[in-house]
Structure 1
Amino acid sequence: MKKIMFAGITTVALLAGCQSQQAANEEPVVINPTAQKVVYSGMLPCADCSGIRTTLTLYRDQFDAPTRFQLREEYLQGSKVGLTTVERGDWSQDTRVQDERQMELYTINPETPDATRQYLRDAVNAVEQLDKNGELIKSNLNYRLLRK
């Protein structure tokens, strides 16, 4: 039993020594201190329910590049949630000129045309959902999500 414990401890010590030596030879990774997740939320209109409580979370890597997203939609029946859907996938960021202003365009599921949705960041703390053609939705209803 003592031989097995000694062999186990020796193996762990050797592996730990190899890992610390390997880490010393690697180049340090520069981490962007502003890399984080950004959350937008709001109540979007619904044709056959009271509204859709929507939360869009956009994740970026340590280099501030887009990585993953999560879109949570709660379909309200009165004041109660009737159905909740959660969608996850990749997202991309582009630049778009709208009304002579340069704005960020966020596209979720950019590789899947049927599931693609676009949001235009038209303010520091808000994104506006676009229609299937990538245009602003012409309506008196609210299609804006505010940054939390």
Structure 2
Amino acid sequence: MKKRLLVTALLLSACSQLPTERSAKVETLVIPSQVEQPAEPEEVVIENSDTTEAVATDFEHIFVDADMSFTGTLPCADCPGISYHVNLYRDGRFEARQEYLDRNQVNLVKGIWLLEKRSLHLVNQQQPLPGFHFLTNNTLAMLDLSGKPISHNQKYQLSREAEFKKLDTRQAMLGLYKLSDNQASFTSCRSGDVLTVANTQHHLPVMRQYQQDERFRGQAVVATLIGRRGQDDQATTLFIDKFEQFWPGAICPDQQQPGKMQGIVWRAEKLTNRYVPQQLNVRVIFDQNERLYGFAGCNSFNGQYKQRANQLTVQPLVSTRKFCADSSELEQQFTQSLQSADRAEVNGDKLQLFKNNQLILQFKPAVN
């Protein structure tokens, strides 16, 4: 009986204790928790609008992927301003119209454009043009002398046109006109280019006037007019928009070595201390036969003069009698000053007339 109780106790003891060897072999299986991925940012879509399209790229570059027109008037040191029309073509070309206000001077310039990030350079061999900087896709700011954009002053900025605009290529011209067998040519005094004159309605009166004047007889005569060159295959053709007048006895001015007083079409630049608006086309020529004639802004005039060394005497002028509200007052002052001059000097490219040693009129050779 005691033997059976002992065996039972031993069995109960074995069931209540875990063996140390087995516990050492138990491996805990660790299941890694799922790693949370950061949420992807939602894509922000900006609708097209005038505002978003005008914002420049964040990469500091501008891409000219369409033909663009920029216009505006920039300040000028000695004139009311310079009107600009710049066309940028996506193939790398540019065309520009540069018009000096109150000077009747228009420069038509062609070349290639270069972009350095946002800085725009207009490269040509005709006329120096300022550099610009794209403030936005719609605004060009002129670069200062150090190459930095003038962004704080809108007077130095050009604005993009909503639609591409063709360039106005009309300009004042002075050159040698010659008619032969009803075909006319025009040689520009400024560039030397020889152009064929198109037989349009504006050209026919010019042809008749030339044919009726016996002094011309097939000779080249200096003429002034408003005209434009053709495009593409008509680049050597001149289209006359407005004819002004012939200048018998005149020659093309030498831009490098200004000549004497005679034979040059002189454009009035200053009347005493007042600049003469160039769009009035106040001009005069002193011919070799001691006669003078010209245009005073509203009326044509002619007369006689005598010159001995620098001494000058102008006889009373004969003039047409039209009235022009925007020029008659200045015209009267001009003709009075011209008739009162007692001395004439050609200094550099300027013709200066004096009275009692006081400068009263200043001219420069007309090249258009």
Is the TM-score greater than 0.5? Answer: yes
Asked if the contact 2:74/2:84 (under 8 Å) is kept, the reply is yes
Please report how far the alpha carbon of residue 124 of structure 1 lies from its aligned counterpart in structure 2 after TM superposition.
2.7
Asked if the contact 1:105/1:120 (under 8 Å) is kept, the reply is yes
- Pairing 1:90–2:112 present: yes
Asked if the contact 1:45/1:141 (under 8 Å) is kept, the reply is no
Structure holding more strand per residue: 1
Match of 1:129 among 142, 155, 159: 142
TM-score (norm 2): 0.24
Partner SS, residue 147 of structure 2: coil
**Could you give the per-residue CA deviations for residues 92-148 of structure 1, whole angstroms, max 9, x where no partner exists?**
1121xxxxxxxx2211118x7x94642100023110010243123488571100001
Supply the RMSD in Å over aligned alpha carbons.
2.7
Measured in 2, the distance between the counterparts of 1:37 and 1:52 equals 23
Measured in 1, the distance between the counterparts of 2:135 and 2:151 equals 15
Aligned pairs for 1:51-90 within 5 A: 51-61=81-91, 67-77=92-102, 82-90=104-112
Looking at both structures, which has the greater relative contact order when contacts are Cα pairs under 8 Å and sequence separation is at least 6? 1
Measured in 2, the distance between the counterparts of 1:147 and 1:138 equals 16
Partner SS, residue 36 of structure 1: coil
Gapped regions of structure 2 (runs ≥ 5): 1-63, 162-368
- Pairing 1:49–2:79 present: yes
Q: 1:141 to 1:127 in 2, by over 3 A?
A: closer
Identity %: 31
TM-score (norm 1): 0.56
Letter in 1 for 2:68: V
Structure with the greater alpha carbon radius of gyration: 2
Q: 1:139 to 1:124 in 2, by over 3 A?
A: closer
Number of aligned residue pairs = 97
Q: Structure 1 stretches (4+) deviating beyond 2 angstroms?
A: 114-117, 136-141
Measured in 2, the distance between the counterparts of 1:40 and 1:136 equals 16
